[in-house]
Amino acid sequence: MLGVSASIAAYKAVAIASQLTQQGALVDVIMTPEAAELVRPLSFEAITHRPVAFEMFRLIDSEIAHVALARSADVFLVAPATAHTIAKLAIGLADDLVSATALSCQAPQLLAPAMESGMWQHPATVDHVKTLRERGWTIVEPGVGHLASGAVGEGRLAEPEQIVDVTKHVLARGGDLAGWRVTITAGGTREPLDPVRFLSNRSSGKMGLALAEAARDRGADVTLIWTSGADSVPHGVQLVEVEQAEEMRAAVLAALPRTDLLVMAAAVADYRPAEAVGQKIKKASGMLALDLAPTVDVLQEVSKVRGPDDRTIVVGFAAETESVLDNARKKLVDKRLDLVVANDVTIQGSGFGSDFNQVSILQEGEPDIDLPLLPKIEVAHHVYDAVLRMSGASRDPSAEFRA
């Protein structure tokens, strides 16, 4: 349920409806009469292929509109939410279809405010927002930017992508990974050579971000251990930033005692400069020789600390260029993994830097799961499907399993 109130930012609600629809949601749009003056209901109907409601006194399938609409909602989002609408929601007024539906709705509720800075910062608005938070509403904080008045300040409607991301997080609370604590590593570690150079690899971290988003969307409590440079982390995911392999080792071992599922998607450097130089190495004629020392093997360290009664599930990734499945099976056994995801990084359009991946999921004693080239978010869901099949967990994993 998308409630639209009369902010000039109402045109962005069309983009919100579009993104939700494209991701498989059935979106019912309701509007205040004033919002319908700013954006025609037909715009939403063309996007959602569903009728828009904005008249307070009407029937839907012989039922009162706000009652029928409230009952059908899995989540109720008000975007944009004006200061006037926020005030009505806080004190329980119900004089238009949006506020009446909100008062009747038992589904999770969230709103995205949009207004001038003075209105957003006014004590009355601050108190109303606090009241709604205390009642369980999720608030998608407004941003700072150009406002309708021409001024620049706080109060700008959050971007549609952010609003949709928060909505997905709210919807995820009943997912099949609800109650699970999932730790994911992502990106390529960086081993310093001097103050301006480092040794690294081609990993972009996109697979790890997809794994974090998919776990979040299935209800998990997600920690993402990410090498420096994260620019867009899914809402609700706890971020731990690291750079070197040793830092990743420390972060993983610190998270392990409170982790039900560890997914090691990071590309950890195998070697580091034996000694990092304190000053920039100047270019000179002739060859430059570097002494390299092996880095810590994070998965091997995890294997060492896992006791026989440890119920943490560990999934590894094996990015290979030759003998892909053989190398992955060796990693599965040597590192005591529950699953390993093997991918041939030489396949065109797959692997490092791409939004797609072609992988095989291996489990000891079970047939390999060979997937075609898929978006990384779909690969992530296949990985979690395999984890749930392997664990034998139900939709609501028992406390005993999560130990």
In sequence order, what are the residues at sequence separation of 6 or more whose Cβ sits closer than 8 angstroms to the Cβ of residue 13? 2, 4, 29, 39, 44, 79, 80
Q: Which long-range contacts (CB under 8 A, 24 or more apart) does 91-99 make?
A: 91/128, 94/66, 95/56, 96/32, 96/33, 96/56, 97/30, 97/31, 97/32, 97/53, 97/54, 97/55, 97/56, 97/65, 97/66, 97/69, 98/3, 98/4, 98/5, 98/30, 98/31, 98/32
Residue 78 to residues 35, 113, 208, 228, 321: CA-CA distances in angstroms? Answer: 12, 8, 31, 35, 49
Q: Which residue among the candidates 201, 327, 343, 357 is catalytic per the annotation?
A: 201
Cα–Cα distance measured from residue 201 to residue 306, given in angstroms and rounded to the nearest whole number: 28
Helix %, strand %, coil % for the chain, to 5? 35, 25, 40
Is 357 annotated as catalytic? no
Distance between CA 35 and CA 157 in Å, rounded?
15
Show the tokens assigned to 235.
């809402």
Q: Are 178 and 219 in contact (CB under 8 A)?
A: yes
DSSP H or E stretch at residue 191? strand 191-194
Closest CA to 296 of 344, 251, 342: 251
| Contact present, 39 and 14 (Cβ < 8 Å) | yes
Contact in structure between 105 and 200 (CB atoms under 8 Å): no
- 96 phi/psi in degrees, rounded to 5: -145, 175
Cα 371–Cα 372–Cα 377 angle in degrees, nearest 5: 75
Catalytic residues: 201
